[in-house]
Each structure stands twice: as C-alpha cells, then as structure tokens.
Amino acid sequence: MQRRTFLKKAALGAAAASAAALTACGDKDSGAPAVSTSKKTTIKWRLQTYAGAALAEHVIKPSIEAFNKAANGEMVIELYFADQLVPTGELFRAMQKGTIDAVQSDDDSIAAPVDVAVFGGYFPFATRYSLDVPALFDRYGLNEIWREAYGEVEGVTWLSAGAWDPCHFNTRKPIRRLADLKGLRVFTFPTAGRFLSRFGVVPVTLPWGDVEVAVQTGELDGIAWSGITEDYTVGWANVTPWFLTNNISGAWIGSYFANTAAWEKVPEHLKTLFKLCIDSSHYYRQYWYWGGEAHLRVKGEKMQLTTIPAAEWATVEAEARKFWDEIAKTSPRCAKVVQIFKDYNDLMTKAGPPYRYA
C-alpha cells in the first residue's frame, strides 16, 4: 500500500513537472508554442490639456482616442481638461513631480522654468500664419533650441510644438482705433499681456472656465486669447459681440510635454505611436482653424467685425520689434531665438505673396 501511494504521488508530480516544462518551453517534439499565464501590465497616463471640454474636442481628444485604440491595451491615456486636476499655472510643477504624466499647453501659461518659455503662447508678431510655426521649429532650428532648454530641467521632457489659432480681441464694445484698447480689462496670456499693457490694456488672470461669466458680470471687458473659431466653439461669441480683425500673432505656439520618468517607461513603439498621434493633432488644427477663421468671419452671425486702420496698427508692430530686443537681452538663447524670428520674417517679406503681403 505504501509503495502504491508513493508511485501514485510520483506520477502526479511528474505530470505537474511536465506541464510546467511545456508552459515554459513548449513541446519540442510537436513544435507547440510556449504558453504564458503572466499578464502584461497596462501603462496608464494622466494627461491634462490647457483647453476646456468643448475646445478639447478638437485640439486633442481625437488624437488621444486614436492613440488608446491603436495601443491595443498596452497603454491608456486618461485625458483631463483645463484646471480639472491642477490649475494651468501649476501644470509644469505637477508634471515634474509625477502628479500627472503629460501636458498639452504653451510654455508661458504653465510657468515652465526655462528662458524660452516667453516664446510659447503668443509672442507678439513672431508669426503671421499657422504654417510659420512648424517651419520655424522643423527648418529654422527651434526644435533643437527647445530640446536644449528643457534638457537643463530635471523631470520633464519636451516632445513637440505645433500651431494653433491667431490672437484677436473679442470684446463687449467695439474697437475701431488703438485708443479704444486703453483701460480694457482683458483675459490673455502672460507674455501677450505684458506686451499689450504698453497700449493701456489691463491683463487679467482667471481660471479658463470662469472667463465667460466674468465677461457677463463685467469683471472682464474682453478676451485676447484666441481667434474667432474658438470664440464660437467655447461660447465666448455669446457674450462678446465684437471681433477685431487685427491680431498680435498669427498662431499660438503650444507644446506637448511628459514627465521624464513616465516617458522613459514607455516602450519605443508606443513612443513612436504617441508622437504620430501628436502630429495628427498638429495637422487637424492646421485646417480646422484655417477654415474656421475664414468661414466664421463671413458667415458667423453672433459677432460683428471691426478693424483698426493699417497705418495705426503698424505702430503696434513697430513696438513689437522693440519688445523682441528687450527679450533678446534676457539670455544668449533668447537672443538666438529672436534672431531666428527676425531672419525668418525678413525672408518671408522678401518672398512676397503668398508668404507675406505688404
């Protein structure tokens, strides 16, 4: 009886060992593949955008949904809107600490601790059209400069920059001359606000979601944060009936950033996929804004257009060049960027239409 028990246990043990061997190595005789019972861990990210929900539907949500689908369960990015997890002004620090994994915004708004942050968002008159942004980054060296700047900061990796819409005024009362800007309380970006204050504009900082109500209550007189496409998309056209066709920048410069530790954990094929999805977002915005700006100027029914005469607006452009020179003095790298802007815009002017019109 003892011998039978021993043989039975030995047979069961051998069967278990054989099954384990097949699981690990496969059946060499049959060529059966190895079967693994271990589960792969899905990489999960939290990404916060500068945009509110209505705007995010266009500027980022489609690309994130495409990424999640193509990643096939290997990685999932949870998207959060403006100020949903942390205030926009604290996004950089939150990403650096790992509170969030990635950010879509401009360097200026998130208080990035790099000298080139001043050029993110709307740097006055640096660009005339949205295509200027990828041209400047991909062909005129700004990619390398941004990588260098963020390489000096621990914990955050800069990934890519792209173009958004131009910066116009949408206001409660019409603006027909430069003097009409004086005393206007305006929601805008930090650097744009610094520049506009030279013309009597009073920059006001508020959470993005509070802007519409602030206009309704009279706390704000207007907004210098977008083009007309966003005015209609996010509801500002309902509370600001006037739109100034003059702009201080032809395209907002925004970027994608990631927490460095989180980025390094992502396999190369998923890094490539994410960058492709970023590029798809850049491409979508090119035609969405370009078509939207023209369409709503002509067919939009909520806002009336005004224009400051070109000769008077030229004084604003001249003041912008003085502003550039002041920024150039802040660091050798800023001086390099300003020189690139000067060289690029001079070349575009010499190229003539359609690159620049007199």
Token pair, residue 4, equals 């039978």
Same structural domain, 241 and 264: no
Q: What is the mean pLDDT of residues 52-65?
A: 97
**3-class DSSP state for residue 16?**
helix
**3-class DSSP state for residue 78?**
strand
Task: Give percent of the chain with pLDDT exceeding 90.
Answer: 88
pTM of the model: 0.87
Tell me how many domains the chain contains.
2
For 215, phi then psi, to 5°, come to -70, -40
292, 315, 348 — which closes off a domain? Answer: 292
pLDDT digits (tens, 9 = 90+) for 211-245: 999 999 999 999 999 999 999 999 999 999 999 99
Residue 277 belongs to some domain of the structure:
yes
**3-class DSSP state for residue 100?**
coil
Same structural domain, 108 and 145: yes
pLDDT digits (tens, 9 = 90+) for 73-117: 999 999 999 999 999 999 999 999 999 999 999 999 999 999 999
Same structural domain, 141 and 246: no
Q: Which of 204, 199, 57, 192 is nearest to 127 (CA)?
A: 192
> Residue 175 is part of a domain; what is its CATH number?
3.40.190.170
Question: CA-CA distances (angstroms) from residue 57 to 61, 85, 145?
Answer: 5, 18, 31
Same structural domain, 239 and 106: no
Residue 34 belongs to some domain of the structure:
no
Same structural domain, 151 and 271: yes
Residue 114 belongs to some domain of the structure:
yes
Residue 148 belongs to some domain of the structure:
yes
Same structural domain, 308 and 195: yes
Gap between the Cα atoms of 291 and 287, Å rounded: 6
Same structural domain, 189 and 306: yes
Same structural domain, 322 and 175: yes
Residue 15 belongs to some domain of the structure:
no
Same structural domain, 65 and 161: yes
What per-residue confidence (pLDDT) applies to 16? 46
**Vertex 252: Cα angle to 304 and 358 (nearest 5):** 70
pLDDT digits (tens, 9 = 90+) for 129-142: 999 999 999 999 99
Same structural domain, 305 and 206: yes
What per-residue confidence (pLDDT) applies to 205? 92
Q: 209 falls in which pLDDT band (50, 70, 90)?
A: very high
Question: CA-CA distances (angstroms) from residue 159 to 143, 144, 261, 274?
Answer: 9, 11, 14, 10
Residue 311 belongs to some domain of the structure:
yes
Residue 282: domain span:
43-165+252-292
Residue 57 belongs to some domain of the structure:
yes
The CA dihedral of 78, 84, 88, 94, to the nearest 10 degrees, is -60
Same structural domain, 83 and 108: yes
Same structural domain, 92 and 215: no
Gap between the Cα atoms of 139 and 143, Å rounded: 9
